[in-house]
Amino acid sequence: MRIQSVPFDPIIELVSSYKLIVKQAALFEWRVGPGKLLVCGLTLSESDPAAMFLRHEMLDYLSSASFCPRVCLELDYAGCRLSTICRTA
């Protein structure tokens, strides 16, 4: 997932090419209003044991006290940006 001008702290960061350095992430989290959001751009296929392991770990993380995103977005801003991203995907 490529997001520009939106603050985010990658959990799994993608490496850009040396020609165009852009901050990109396959997995990141936000605090949005009173809620929390984990964004995953990875394909978590049920036929892939590694993907299923990652999915299991992510679900455990989401239900733990450790899930406390540091980057906070205003609800209006996040909704506007996410709807734009979803329409272009």
Element (H, E) at 85: helix 75-88
Average pLDDT by stretches of 10, the chain with 89 residues: 66 84 86 89 95 96 95 70 49
pTM of the predicted protein model: 0.72
Contacts of 48 (CB under 8 A, 6+ apart): none
For residue 45, the model assigns a pLDDT of 94
Q: Are strands 24-32 and 9-14 parallel, antiparallel or unpaired?
A: antiparallel
DSSP category for residue 46 = T
How far from 80 is each of 6, 8, 37, 55, 77, CA to CA, in Å? 11, 16, 15, 27, 5
